[in-house]
Amino acid sequence: MSAVVAVFAPLDKPLSYEVPAALREQVAPGVRVRVPLGNRRALGVILELASAGVEGLRPVEEVLDLQPLLSSPMLAFLRRAAAYYHHPLGEVLRAALPAGLTAVKTRVNIVTERFYRAACAVQDPPGARQREILAWLRGREEVPLSEISRHFPAPHAVLKRLVELNLLSVREGERRRDPFLDQPVPVDVRPVLGVDQQQALAALLDALAAGRFAQFLLHGVTGSGKTEIYLHAIAAVLEQGRQALVLVPEIALTPQLVARFRTRFQAACARVAVLHSALSEGERYDAWRAIARGEVQIVIGARSAVFAPLPDLGIVVVDEEHESGYKQSEGWRYHARDLALLRAQGSAAVVVLGSATPALTTFYRTQAGDTGYLSLDARVLGRPLPEVELVDLGGRRLSGALAPELMEALSATLERKEQALLLLNRRGFAPYLLCRECGATFRCPNCEITLTYYQSRRRLRCHYCDYVQRPPERCSGCGGTSIEPEGAGTERLEEELAVAFPVARIARMDRDTTSRKGAHQSLVDGMEQGAIDILIGTQMVAKGHDFPRVTLVGVIGADSSLNFPDFRSAERTFALLTQVAGRAGRGTLQGRVLIQTYAPTHHALACAARHDYLGFYEQEIAFRRELGYPPFGYLINLVLAGNQPLQVERCAAELAEELSRKAGEVEILGPAPCPLARLRGKTRYQILLKAAARAPLHRLLGVVDSRRRKLPRTLSLAVDVDPLDML
DNA sequence: AGCACGCCGACT
DNA sequence: GTCGGCGTGCTC
């Protein structure tokens, strides 16, 4: 008997192993095995078994699972995914399984831990620390050791003594800690559905009742009540005894969404599992097993949650489906929304893609009829959309980052004691330092970009590789000393506003101010409690939260994303502007949006100002059609990177040459240096493959696969199927 | 990925 | 004369 095994290694094909007689009872497709590979061992998953013996196979050494870890629909899904993305199956399986199940060095998963509970005794112990911990424990139920450790350093000896004194009881229990449980549970409000919502829901319920694969776009502006529809549809899925998967672009920004799900389904006793990056290896494993056993009805998570092993998946919700966070940007470059569709096909599940600004490709599918279109026209409670004005900066010279119009609007907002939100999609004080004498800028030695200047810390920093240096006293080129920051980032804007509005309470929200745990939440709280008057931030401020007292939104660098060297730059700009504009006037107050731009006639800006998705779509789709870009063509980007510039260039040229010979109907663009031609010390070249259909592209990738192994090992080749950006 | 094999520079 | 640099090939 032999087994075909996908080994967790970047091999281009599965390997066959002999199944020893002693292991015959234990093997099955979907179980993990330990196998010899070269002169080491590796883990892998059995894909299939064959009774016919083959000579000269090495034996399976150990079977690691009693039951298949991956069900057969799940395996089928992952095989299709591997084929689609031209990624080694073993690596795909590794990405789909919780870390810890794929490493050879088998770590014992922590499944139990000690729980302590204060006894009913009233007398107090002698030690001060003992009293302290006991008092704390008396205020709560059963507490796991890990949580006690978080509040008290090295509590073990103290706890042991308290147990000896019979003041505490201990129990060994299964570990289940979930940071999202700390969220206050909101009251479950069940708003009455509007007409649009009822129609959308009815369509979803019909599809669910049919029990077949179907996909829908739920198109509605922020605040139009998409979440309520998800909740209703999921309730119907649970009724059928099936499970639901909810994907969100970034789980860290959605604690209130999670809380809402928890509250709603508490009564139905449905278990909601949240998969997020803060889970330890053990917790992740526990959650994964519970999901696979069918004990969890609803899974909420970021892109990797698309691999959650729900046994009978009935619905997948992809919230904010246009978000780029769904695309994995290194290693296996999958897109969770596209994988969700692939998976749902195999599970006869319904997919709901929700967005206020759907990806162009998604909206196109609704026009073509492949995807059902459900539209929520009005904001709930009929709140009007904010008035948006474009402030044309053409030919004007500003004294600071803000135009007078925006300054005036800000002071009016402050006078009314309302809040303002300013979007400037650039961190730091200034995007670069400039020598006034010779025009030199200061660049990262590893990456081909200018170093961002941080005034607060007096440092220059690279946003790509984190290289840091002190700002130079004099220019290395001409020796000049008049070196000045050019352009403005959030740090500078904050400073400028502090001068202009000395009494205003100003806060900044970007990756630099929110890296500390809980920092993001405290800024959100500050806004909600009215402790902040002006919130400055990068695109982070456009996402996630409702601030009911925000009546003014200002956008400062609206054009910077428009000038990205990428065919999707208009789409991204439109989505960001629409999203941030939606932040104004969420409460009962009328909102106003001012967008500073040099390109007021560009359709991304003009349409965003009119809240006109359809108008934007019409213009953008015409451009895509003309150039054969998605959805009218399919792209695969090949990125070659290496330390030696000449070698990278030469190999890229050779690869492109060979591809051209076999191109057929595939268009080969390049090789050309990537827009980020150097990144973390590596020189990068790209070759873009473009075709009107997928099949010839995939055929051509066969050439890449066979050539991959012949490349010098000092070079890396990344295959990006359906690239989102090409930097 | 990991690991060995194999062919060219600076050391005891 | 070796030790070891990393380019190259292979893993059932």
Per-residue pLDDT at A189: 79
Which nucleotide's C1' is closest to A709 (Cα)? Answer: C9
Structure token pair of residue A429: 């004080």
Give the largest CA-CA distance in chain A.
87
Main-chain dihedrals φ then ψ at residue A169, nearest 5 degrees: -110, 145
- Rounded CA-CA distance A727/A637 in Å is 10
Q: Indicate yes or no: strand B within 7 A of the C-beta of A412.
A: no
For residue A129, tell me if it sits in a domain. Answer: yes
For residue A333, tell me if it sits in a domain. Answer: yes
CA of A525 to C1' of C6 (A): 54
For residue A107, tell me if it sits in a domain. Answer: no
Which nucleotide's C1' is closest to A10 (Cα)? Answer: B1
- Confidence band for A378, pLDDT divided at 50, 70 and 90: low
A251 and A272 in one domain?
yes
Which nucleotide's C1' is closest to A713 (Cα)? Answer: C7
- Rounded CA-CA distance A436/A442 in Å is 12
CA of A714 to C1' of C5 (A): 14
Q: Indicate yes or no: strand B within 7 A of the C-beta of A9.
A: yes
Structural contact between residues A314 and A244, judged by C-beta atoms closer than 8 angstroms: yes
- Rounded CA-CA distance A613/A355 in Å is 11
User: Helix or strand or coil: residue A233?
Assistant: helix
- Confidence band for A176, pLDDT divided at 50, 70 and 90: low
* Residue % of chain A over a pLDDT of 70: 95
* Residue % of chain A over a pLDDT of 90: 39
Per-residue pLDDT at A185: 60
Which residues sit opposite A327 in a β-bridge?
A: A335
Q: Is the pLDDT of residue A116 over 50?
A: yes
Per-residue pLDDT at A170: 83
Q: Which parts of A100-213 are beta strand (E)?
A: 112-118, 143-144, 168-174
Question: Alpha helix locations (H) across A181-225?
Answer: 195-210
Nearest to A257 by CA among A284, A222, A291: A222
Which nucleotide's C1' is closest to A37 (Cα)? Answer: C11
Q: What is the mean pLDDT of residues A167-187?
A: 63
A321 and A257 in one domain?
yes
C-alpha A54, offset from chain centre? 45
Q: Indicate yes or no: strand B within 7 A of the C-beta of A11.
A: yes
Of the three residues A380, A415, A450, the one that is the final residue of a domain is A380
- Rounded CA-CA distance A542/A250 in Å is 13
Which nucleotide's C1' is closest to A18 (Cα)? Answer: C12
Structural contact between residues A611 and A221, judged by C-beta atoms closer than 8 angstroms: yes
Main-chain dihedrals φ then ψ at residue A468, nearest 5 degrees: -130, 140
Q: What is the mean pLDDT of residues A155-163?
A: 86
- Rounded CA-CA distance A479/A173 in Å is 68
Structural contact between residues A58 and A42, judged by C-beta atoms closer than 8 angstroms: no
Q: What is the mean pLDDT of residues A150-178?
A: 77
CA of A656 to C1' of B11 (A): 44
- Rounded CA-CA distance A491/A511 in Å is 12
Per-residue pLDDT at A682: 84
- Rounded CA-CA distance A510/A572 in Å is 19
Q: Which residues touch strand C (CB under 7 A)?
A: A 9, 11, 13, 15-18, 35-38, 56-58, 709-710, 712-714
Residue whose pair of structure tokens reads 């729980």 in the numeric block? A115
Sequence-separated (6 or more) residues with CB below 8 Å from residue A167: A118, A119, A121, A125, A130, A134
A134 and A24 in one domain?
no
* Residue A537, domain extent: 383-429+488-623
Q: Indicate yes or no: strand B within 7 A of the C-beta of A173.
A: no
Span A644-697, pLDDT tens digits: 888 888 888 888 888 888 888 999 997 888 888 888 878 899 999 999 999 999
CATH of the domain at A73: 3.40.1440.60
Span A467-499, pLDDT tens digits: 888 888 888 878 888 888 888 888 898 888 889
CA of A711 to C1' of B11 (A): 33
Which nucleotide's C1' is closest to A39 (Cα)? Answer: B3
Q: Does an H or E element contain A62, and which?
A: strand A62-63
Q: Is the pLDDT of residue A110 over 50?
A: no
CA of A647 to C1' of C1 (A): 34
Which protein residue lies nearest to nucleotide C10, measured between its Cα and the C1' atom? Answer: A38
Q: Does an H or E element contain A37, and which?
A: strand A32-37
Strand C nucleotides where any atom sits below 7 Å of a protein CB: 6-12
A241 and A366 in one domain?
yes
A581 and A471 in one domain?
no
Q: What is the mean pLDDT of residues A601-621?
A: 92
Per-residue pLDDT at A35: 94
> CA neighbours within 13 Å on the CB side: how many for A284?
18
Which protein residue lies nearest to nucleotide C11, measured between its Cα and the C1' atom? Answer: A38
CA of A714 to C1' of C8 (A): 11
Among A73-82, A164-173, A242-251, A322-331, the minimum mean pLDDT is found in: A164-173
For residue A181, tell me if it sits in a domain. Answer: no
At A149, which amino acid appears? Answer: S
CB within 7 A of strand B (chain A, 24-43): 37-40
Q: Indicate yes or no: strand B within 7 A of the C-beta of A663.
A: no
Residue whose pair of structure tokens reads 């967790």 in the numeric block? A8
Q: Is the pLDDT of residue A706 over 80?
A: no
Q: Indicate yes or no: strand B within 7 A of the C-beta of A51.
A: no
On average, the pLDDT of chain A sits at: 87
For residue A698, tell me if it sits in a domain. Answer: yes
Cis peptide before A565 (omega within 30 of 0): no
Span A386-403, pLDDT tens digits: 888 898 888 888 888 888
Per-residue pLDDT at A440: 83
Q: Indicate yes or no: strand B within 7 A of the C-beta of A394.
A: no
At A168, which amino acid appears? Answer: L
For residue A106, tell me if it sits in a domain. Answer: no
CATH of the domain at A398: 3.40.50.300
Per-residue pLDDT at A174: 56
Which nucleotide's C1' is closest to A9 (Cα)? Answer: B1
CA of A683 to C1' of B6 (A): 28
A400 and A451 in one domain?
no
CATH of the domain at A671: 3.30.70.600
Q: Is the pLDDT of residue A188 over 50?
A: yes
- Rounded CA-CA distance A446/A448 in Å is 7
For residue A410, tell me if it sits in a domain. Answer: yes
Residues tagged in the binding site annotation of A for Zn(2+): 435, 438, 444, 447, 462, 465, 475, 478
Nearest to A245 by CA among A266, A272, A222, A224: A272
CA of A12 to C1' of B5 (A): 22
How many residues are recorded in chain A? 727
Residue whose pair of structure tokens reads 């599965």 in the numeric block? A14
Which nucleotide's C1' is closest to A716 (Cα)? Answer: B1
Render A622-644 in DSSP notation, one character per residue. HHHHHHT-TTSSEEEEEEEEES-
Q: Which parts of A278-386 are beta strand (E)?
A: 298-301, 313-319, 350-355, 372-376
Q: Indicate yes or no: strand B within 7 A of the C-beta of A718.
A: no
Span A257-266, pLDDT tens digits: 888 898 898 8
Q: Indicate yes or no: strand B within 7 A of the C-beta of A10.
A: yes
Per-residue pLDDT at A108: 44
A474 and A450 in one domain?
yes
Span A543-578, pLDDT tens digits: 767 787 888 999 998 888 888 878 899 999 999 998
CA of A710 to C1' of C9 (A): 9
Residues tagged in the binding site annotation of A: 435, 438, 444, 447, 462, 465, 475, 478
Sequence-separated (6 or more) residues with CB below 8 Å from residue A716: A640, A641, A642, A682
User: Helix or strand or coil: residue A72?
Assistant: helix
Nearest to A342 by CA among A702, A701, A87, A74: A74
For residue A189, tell me if it sits in a domain. Answer: no
- Rounded CA-CA distance A488/A427 in Å is 9
Strand B nucleotides where any atom sits below 7 Å of a protein CB: 1-4
Cis peptide before A645 (omega within 30 of 0): no
Sequence-separated (6 or more) residues with CB below 8 Å from residue A527: A419, A507, A535, A545, A547, A549, A550
CA of A40 to C1' of C2 (A): 29
A315 and A214 in one domain?
yes
Span A513-543, pLDDT tens digits: 887 777 888 888 888 888 888 899 888 888 7
A422 and A523 in one domain?
yes
- Rounded CA-CA distance A346/A6 in Å is 21
Per-residue pLDDT at A354: 96
Would you say the C-alpha torsion A406, A408, A412, A417 has a positive or negative sign?
A: positive
How many structural domains does chain A have?
6
Q: Does an H or E element contain A80, and which?
A: helix A72-85
- Rounded CA-CA distance A465/A458 in Å is 18
Main-chain dihedrals φ then ψ at residue A135, nearest 5 degrees: -60, -40
Which protein residue lies nearest to nucleotide B1, measured between its Cα and the C1' atom? Answer: A9
The pTM assigned to this predicted structure is 0.85
Q: Residue A516 burial (CB < 10 Å; 0-12/13-18/19+)?
A: exposed
- Rounded CA-CA distance A628/A693 in Å is 11
Q: What is the dihedral of CA A375, A378, A380, A383, to 10 degrees?
A: 160
Question: A701 versus A338: which is more confidently predicted?
Answer: A338
CA of A715 to C1' of C6 (A): 13
Nearest to A537 by CA among A603, A489, A478, A504: A489
CA of A41 to C1' of C8 (A): 22
CA of A136 to C1' of C7 (A): 62
- Rounded CA-CA distance A118/A120 in Å is 7
CA of A39 to C1' of C2 (A): 27
Which nucleotide's C1' is closest to A11 (Cα)? Answer: C11
CA of A98 to C1' of B1 (A): 18
Would you say the C-alpha torsion A573, A576, A579, A581 has a positive or negative sign?
A: negative
CA of A127 to C1' of B4 (A): 61
Q: Is the pLDDT of residue A111 over 70?
A: no
A222 and A95 in one domain?
no
Structural contact between residues A602 and A570, judged by C-beta atoms closer than 8 angstroms: yes
Which nucleotide's C1' is closest to A8 (Cα)? Answer: B1
- Confidence band for A180, pLDDT divided at 50, 70 and 90: low
Q: Is the pLDDT of residue A319 over 90?
A: yes
A552 and A452 in one domain?
no
A61 and A31 in one domain?
yes
